[in-house]
Structure 1
Amino acid sequence: MHMHHILVVDDDPTNTKILKFLLTGEGYEVTALTSPVEALRNLGENVYDLIILDIVMPEMDGLELCQRIRATSTTPIIFISALGEIKDKITGLKAGGDDYISKPFDPNELLARTWATLRRTRQLATSESSLKTTDLILDSVEGKVTLVRSGKTVTLTPIEARLLRCLMSNTGRTLTRDTLVIKAWGYEYEGESNHLDVYIKRLRSKIEENPSEPRLLLTSRGVGYKLQPSEVGATSSAQVGS
C-alpha cells in the first residue's frame, strides 16, 4: 500500500513537531521544514501527496510560497494559520490553497481534512482521464485543461479539476451550489460556503477569454452554476446572469 508523503512547512519548530507527531501517528510519512526557501529547494527534488503550510513566516509568507508551488505543481495544499478571518481564508484559497484550517485547531479536524483531501485526490486520479466538450479538453491525470479555441493549456489545482469535471459532465445543466460543494470537497466538508465562489472565479480566470464577462461558466442566480457551450453561452448569458 502506498504511504502518503506529506510536506509540512512552519517556521515554528514546536508546530512542526506537533504536526509531524499527529500525522505520523496516522501512518503518513512526513517531512517537516521550518524554512520556506528550503521547502522550495526540497520540492525540486521530491514528490509529495500533500503540502501543509503556515502563512506568517519571516523568509517568505505561505501565500507567496503557495503561488510559487502552484507555478509548477498541482499537489493539494492545506493552509494552517492563526489568521482566521473570512478574508484571510479567501486570500489563501485565491493563492492556490485547497483548504484552510484556523489555529488553534482540533487535531481530529486536521486529520479528517488531511484524509479527505488525499481521498479526493485519489478519486480524481482514478476517474476517466480525459473529458471533452466543444470548448474544453480536461486531462484529470495531469491536472490540465486545454482551451479548444486558442489551443492554450492551463494547470488546475485538484479542487478546480474536480469542479470542472463535474460541470463538464453536466454541460448545459445548472448544478446547485450544494451539488458542486459535495463533488469538490465531499459531504464532510464544513468550510464557508463562499469558498465555492472563490474557486468559480479562479476557474473563470483560466477558461474564459474575458473572466469579467463569462460566456462558458455561467451563474444561475440563487441556484448555482452551469457550463454552457460557447455558441449558446453568448446568447443566454444576459438571461442567466454572470
Structure 2
Amino acid sequence: MSRVLVVEDDVQLVRALRINLQARAYEVEEALDGDAALRLTASLMPDAVLMDLGLPDMDGVEVIKAIRVWSQVPILVLSARHLSEDKVRALDAGADDYVTKPFSMDELLARLRAATRRRRTGTGTETPPVVTTDGFTIDLVAKKVYRDGVNVRLTPTEWHILEMLVVSPGRLVSQRALLREVWGPAHVENTNYLRVYMAQLRRKLEADPAHPRYLKFPLSAGQLDTGTDGPGGSSHR
C-alpha cells in the first residue's frame, strides 16, 4: 500500500482527499503546516507528498526546498495560485507536478500514479535526514548540528557548505560548484572563502582541528568523510 502525505490546512479538502485516496487503497497521513510536513516526511518516508503552497507557518515553496535537500519523494503541488511565476518557483524548487485548484480528482489521481511510478523506476539514492559520525550529528530537517549532544551554532554560510557536502555522498563536488552555490557566480575563483569557512567548521566540529578527521581541505582538495561507520560520506575537489 502506497503512503501519501497530504500537506493542506483546508480541512474540508483534506477530508475529500482522504476519502478518495483511501478508496483507492492509499494510506493517508496529514500535515496542517510546513513544520509538520517536514517532520512527517522525515519520519514516515511517504511514497508521495501532496503540497499546498499557502501554509499558515511558511510558504510551501520553502517546504519543498527543505525536503529536496535530502529526499527525492514525488511532490505534487495543489494550489489556488494560477500565475505562471508561482508554478515556475514551485517546479524550480523541486516539485514534480503542479495542479491548480479546483481540480478533477481523476486527473489528480492519474498524476499521482504517474509520479509514484517514476519513483519506483528511478535509480537515485536519498540522503538520510539525520547523518551521524563518531564526532557529530547533522540533522538536515531541523538544520542543526550536534556535537556530544550539544547544539553547535553554525552561521548560514557554514551550514550551506556543510549541507552541500553531506547531501552528495560518494560524489565529487568541485570548489567552483560550492562557491557558485554559496556565494554566487561572481565568486567562483575565490577559493580563499572556502579555506576560511572550512577552518571555522573544523574548529566547531573536529575533535582536533589541526588534524581533521572529517573536514579536510588542503589547497588541492577537500572532503567531508563520514567514514564507514556512518550512513554515507561526501567530498569535493
Bin the TM-score by the shorter chain: 0.5 to 0.7
| TM-score normalised per structure 1 | 0.52
The answer for the alignment partner of 1:100 in structure 2 is 98
Please list the CA deviations of residues 169-217 of structure 1 after superposition, one character each: whole Å capped at 9, or x if unmatched: xxxxxxxxxxxxxxxxxxxxxxxxxxxxxxxxxxxx98xx97xxxxxxx
The answer for the alignment partner of 2:15 in structure 1 is 17
Q: 1:94 is matched by which residue type in structure 2?
A: D
Q: 1:54 is matched by which residue type in structure 2?
A: D
Q: Counterpart of 1:100 in 2: which secondary structure? A: strand
Q: Counterpart of 1:97 in 2: which secondary structure? A: coil
Runs of 4+ in 1 over 3 A off after TM superposition: 141-154
The answer for the alignment partner of 1:71 in structure 2 is 69
The answer to whether the 8 A contact 2:70-2:126 is kept is: no
Report the CA distance between 1:20 and its aligned residue.
1.2
The answer to whether the 8 A contact 1:6-1:30 is kept is: yes
The answer to whether the 8 A contact 1:146-1:152 is kept is: no
Q: Counterpart of 1:44 in 2: which secondary structure? A: helix
The answer for the alignment partner of 2:24 in structure 1 is 26
The answer to whether the 8 A contact 2:5-2:50 is kept is: yes
The answer for the alignment partner of 2:55 in structure 1 is 57
- 2: CA distance between counterparts of 1:122 and 1:30? 19
1:24 to 1:150, Cα distance in 2 relative to 1, 3 A: same
1:73 to 1:106, Cα distance in 2 relative to 1, 3 A: same
Q: 1:57 is matched by which residue type in structure 2?
A: L
- 2: CA distance between counterparts of 1:152 and 1:23? 45
Report the CA distance between 1:141 and its aligned residue.
3.8
1:151 to 1:121, Cα distance in 2 relative to 1, 3 A: farther
The answer to whether the 8 A contact 1:16-1:33 is kept is: no
Q: Percent identity?
A: 35
The answer for the alignment partner of 1:110 in structure 2 is 108
The unaligned stretches of length 5 or more in structure 2 are 128-167, 186-237
The unaligned stretches of length 5 or more in structure 1 are 126-139, 155-204, 211-242
The answer for the alignment partner of 1:90 in structure 2 is 88
* CA-atom RMSD in angstroms: 3.0
The answer for the alignment partner of 1:150 in structure 2 is 174
Pairs aligned (count): 144
The answer for the alignment partner of 2:152 in structure 1 is none
